[in-house]
Structure 1
Amino acid sequence: MKNKLGTAVTLGFALFAMFFGAGNLVLPPFIGLQSGDEWFAAVSGFFTTGIIAPFLGVLTVVLFGTSFTDLGKKVNPTIVTVLALLIMLCIGPFVAIPRTAAATFEIGIQPAFTGFNPVVFSVLFFSVVFFLSVSPSKIVDIIGNFLTPFLIISLGVLVVLGLLNPTAIALETDLSAQESYVYAFHQGYQTLDVLASVIFAGIIISAAIDKGFTNANERFKITVFAGLISMMALLFIYGGLIYLGAHSGISVSQEISRVDLLLSISRAVMGTNGTVVISMAVALACLTTAIALTAAMGSFIDKLTKGKISYRVAVILTCIVSGYFSVKSVDEIIEYAVVILSFVYPITFALILTLLFFGKIIFSKSPYIAAIATAGVVASLAVFKHFGLFSEQIDVLNTWLPLSEHELGWVLPSFLAFFITAGLNRGLRKSRNTSPS
């Protein structure tokens, strides 16, 4: 007999741990610091892009298949495969996986062992990741049943103690409630969770199938239930960390790094034990995410190359490349990730939203292609501007693009392209149907 509740809890905890990596740990306290007494508005903003948007990604995949590449049946297999590769490189060896190791080193190792060689740590970290990633069928159970409970307990202790005994009052901020919401909304992009969600969805769905939920309706329900459990856990931890950042007593003018802020909060809330607790939380958060992402990258490359590069070899390559980039600092990785994300994120989100809203009623592929192509064109403007190309012209154009000040200038053009293409298709079909034979 299938244990629906137990399976949902295990999958939900696993999904939470997969999402909750380095960026998810160091970003919220810094958001709280910047938003000060408007911290609640900041929680709402981060909730939008850091929790709801990733859940929509999971929902989209489970509605239309069992993995992200299945969306190619609704759009275009080649386009979706190329997009999947870009996503995997972002959430894999170029950005997200190296960031997990860098955060673990800066928060968990460096404060206790000054002078420890980051290269040696990188080798040790990715040796553990490889060992725990080499058997993909066991990953969800390892994460959901063993690693996540320790992660939630360690972070939960910090959050609860901080909520019960704030170290200081929330300082006034120069940001309004709306500006705090927008700031946190933007920071939610840095979690990479919208990109990760469409890949993690396949891992969770595969685990549900392995546990006997082979019927599409059952699979949908158990995945959604797991997603809701993950959302509640993320909201508790994110909200708590933003609150702690707002009540840290540290002024924005002190120019403290994200990592140092987290360490300062942990020491203020829990004394000298705080460093130990936060080190454990960081290690578990980063390790679970690194394992999930490495496994996802291995499976993707194995499938993409049709076994020419096996899962095991792909995992080894992922660990090597990730290890190379992980010797950079967390802030350095976040800095160069902005350029990559500003291009890939809008395209992925445009695909998720159009499929989620219209995938069951509009079956032609061209409107979806038009939407993501338009998102790609608008997103490329941010890349050009970052490298100093056509900056003045792009600034002028952005004044004409609604929501561009929120980095959402792609939204309305993408939907407009979608509707125009869908309308043209409908007109052509009517013309063909009414034309004399």
Structure 2
Amino acid sequence: MKQYKLICVYGFAIFAMFFGSGNLVFPLHLGQQVGKNWFLGFLGLFVTGIVLPFLGLFVIKLHKGNYRSFFAEGGKVAGLILPLFTLSLLGSFGVVPRCITVAHGGMDYLFPGLSLTMFSLIFCGLTYILCLKDNIMIDLIGKFISPIKLTALGILIVVGIIYSPQISSEKPAISAFSDGVFMGYQTMDLFAAFFFSSLIFNRIKSILPETNDNRIIIKAALSPSIAGALMLAIVYLGFVFLGAHYGDLIQNVEPELMLPTIATYALNPSAAFIIGIAIIVSCLTTAVALNNIYARYLVDTLKLKPSYFPIMLAGTTAISFFISLLDFKGIAAFLAPALEVSYPGLIALTILSIFIKDRKILKMSVFYTITVIMIAIKIME
């Protein structure tokens, strides 16, 4: 595969896998909250929603695509618990159900009356089928789904900017930035980066059979990561802008309905249909990637034969179905405390692992100290 084609396909794949449910909601919600200081809010989101996930992508590449090796930097206990904890939140107990609720919002806006239960059942069934074909998943997402999705979102952003109303609210600058930082936490993209990077790294490694040089593979994998990060940054910037300018319109709108509401206002109901499809596809691609990774991790951890993967996948998909019935706000309510406690320690471990090759005791000490402090703060609250 030629270098430019590799960058395009895997850059689009990285964008598509990251850009799921929270990414469709939180930038808009952030803009609506911070108003005229929307750019400061975006900068906060950029730090935790773009820079940190990119560092997460990079650190796994340094570990040759082995996320278990990275988590082990925090010690033996962290090496066992962190993959299970992060993948559980990304998989059946957090992001996948959240994808279902946001996708239902897109569908409900187009076809009112379809219950969350029925939609979730259909969505989970489709997710299960696509997960069984994971050998073509990345190429399919990168070559076909992502360009279509990015085009649809780009049209909405451009038209939305052209017809954007004046901003009527404003939040203090420091609060706008801190809100952006917290919204970046909520996307959970740092968590996802550890596992998406492993998936991409191993896929690129498989198409470069002529070399076992880790530096060459890292270099080949780095450009798509940068391309994917740039795409995310551009869409986030546009979404925060739209959230700020259409803040009054989405003031009392459910989170999963914010984007369809703006699309219908800025475009027309017929054109908004395309945005609704883009929302559903965005959530589906992320859900498929995460559900697949989670089920394969459990099979590997429990030392089951590969033939048990469809059974494990059925179990993780079923859990996602039941958690999705809590709806977007319900899922966000129990995810927020877990993220506040776990994110700072993982950020520190990521940065230390990039800049310090050895000194495992130092990394363990910093990780556990920060995590204990965050737990203590949460208990006192």
**Same fold? TM cut 0.5:** yes
**Residue 35 of structure 2: SS of its match in structure 1?**
helix
| Whole-angstrom CA distance in 2 between matches of 1:86 and 1:137 | 26
More deviation, 223-232/75-84 = 75-84
The question of 1:371 aligning with 2:366 is answered: yes
Query: In structure 2, what is the equivalent of residue 15 of structure 1?
Result: 14
Query: In structure 2, what is the equivalent of residue 147 of structure 1?
Result: 145
Q: Which amino acid aligns with 2:365?
A: A
Q: Which amino acid aligns with 2:322?
A: Y
The question of 1:38 aligning with 2:50 is answered: no
Aligned equivalent of 1:221, options 212, 219, 222: 219
Query: In structure 1, what is the equivalent of residue 264 of structure 2?
Result: 267
Q: Which amino acid aligns with 1:228?
A: I
Contact 2:73 2:79 in 1 (8 A): no
Residue 135 of structure 1, CA deviation: 2.8
Residue 169 of structure 1, CA deviation: 1.5
| Aligned residue runs from structure 1 range 241-252, under 5 A | 241-248=239-246, 250=248
Query: In structure 1, what is the equivalent of residue 26 of structure 2?
Result: 27
Q: Deviations over 1:211-235 (max 9, x none)?
A: 1264311211122111110111101
Contact 1:104 1:286 in 2 (8 A): yes
**Residue 65 of structure 2: SS of its match in structure 1?**
coil
Query: In structure 2, what is the equivalent of residue 190 of structure 1?
Result: 186
Query: In structure 2, what is the equivalent of residue 394 of structure 1?
Result: none
Q: Which amino acid aligns with 1:191?
A: T
Contact 2:127 2:287 in 1 (8 A): yes
| Whole-angstrom CA distance in 1 between matches of 2:293 and 2:175 | 36
Query: In structure 1, what is the equivalent of residue 122 of structure 2?
Result: 124
The question of 1:291 aligning with 2:292 is answered: no
Contact 1:86 1:344 in 2 (8 A): no
Residue 248 of structure 1, CA deviation: 1.2
Query: In structure 1, what is the equivalent of residue 255 of structure 2?
Result: 258
Residue 257 of structure 1, CA deviation: 3.1
| Whole-angstrom CA distance in 1 between matches of 2:202 and 2:343 | 25
TM-score relative to the length of structure 1: 0.82
Query: In structure 2, what is the equivalent of residue 95 of structure 1?
Result: 94
**Residue 236 of structure 1: SS of its match in structure 2?**
helix
Contact 1:33 1:251 in 2 (8 A): no
Contact 2:37 2:176 in 1 (8 A): yes
Query: In structure 2, what is the equivalent of residue 180 of structure 1?
Result: 176
Q: Which amino acid aligns with 1:167?
A: S
C-alpha spacing 1:274/1:331, structure 2 compared with 1 (3 Å): farther
Unaligned runs of 5+ in 1: 385-389, 392-437
Query: In structure 1, what is the equivalent of residue 304 of structure 2?
Result: 307
Residue 334 of structure 1, CA deviation: 1.2
| Whole-angstrom CA distance in 2 between matches of 1:183 and 1:325 | 26
| Whole-angstrom CA distance in 1 between matches of 2:319 and 2:108 | 22
| Whole-angstrom CA distance in 2 between matches of 1:328 and 1:31 | 22
Residue 382 of structure 1, CA deviation: 4.2
How many residues are aligned here?
A: 378
| Whole-angstrom CA distance in 2 between matches of 1:155 and 1:381 | 41
Query: In structure 1, what is the equivalent of residue 52 of structure 2?
Result: 53
Q: Which amino acid aligns with 2:101?
A: A
Say which one has the larger Rg: 1
Q: Deviations over 1:345-377 (max 9, x none)?
A: 22322211211121x2xx232111111111220
Contact 1:168 1:248 in 2 (8 A): yes
Query: In structure 2, what is the equivalent of residue 200 of structure 1?
Result: 196
Residue 166 of structure 1, CA deviation: 2.8
C-alpha spacing 1:270/1:139, structure 2 compared with 1 (3 Å): same
Contact 1:67 1:201 in 2 (8 A): no
**RMSD of equivalent CA atoms:** 1.8
Contact 1:93 1:321 in 2 (8 A): yes
Query: In structure 2, what is the equivalent of residue 115 of structure 1?
Result: 113
Residue 136 of structure 1, CA deviation: 2.6
Q: Which amino acid aligns with 2:83?
A: A
The question of 1:170 aligning with 2:160 is answered: no
Residue 318 of structure 1, CA deviation: 1.2
The question of 1:209 aligning with 2:208 is answered: no
| Whole-angstrom CA distance in 1 between matches of 2:40 and 2:71 | 37
Whose RCO is larger (CA < 8 A, sep 6+)? 2
The question of 1:232 aligning with 2:230 is answered: yes
**Residue 85 of structure 1: SS of its match in structure 2?**
helix
| Whole-angstrom CA distance in 2 between matches of 1:9 and 1:250 | 37
C-alpha spacing 1:72/1:169, structure 2 compared with 1 (3 Å): closer
| Whole-angstrom CA distance in 1 between matches of 2:324 and 2:228 | 27
| Whole-angstrom CA distance in 2 between matches of 1:218 and 1:167 | 46
| Whole-angstrom CA distance in 2 between matches of 1:137 and 1:382 | 44
Residue 122 of structure 1, CA deviation: 1.2
Query: In structure 2, what is the equivalent of residue 414 of structure 1?
Result: none
Q: Deviations over 1:380-421 (max 9, x none)?
A: 12442xxxxx44xxxxxxxxxxxxxxxxxxxxxxxxxxxxxx
TM-score relative to the length of structure 2: 0.94
| Whole-angstrom CA distance in 2 between matches of 1:57 and 1:301 | 21
Identity of aligned residues (%): 26
**Residue 111 of structure 1: SS of its match in structure 2?**
helix
Aligned equivalent of 1:326, options 324, 333, 338: 324
Residue 159 of structure 1, CA deviation: 0.8
**Residue 37 of structure 1: SS of its match in structure 2?**
coil
**Residue 116 of structure 1: SS of its match in structure 2?**
coil
C-alpha spacing 1:73/1:112, structure 2 compared with 1 (3 Å): closer
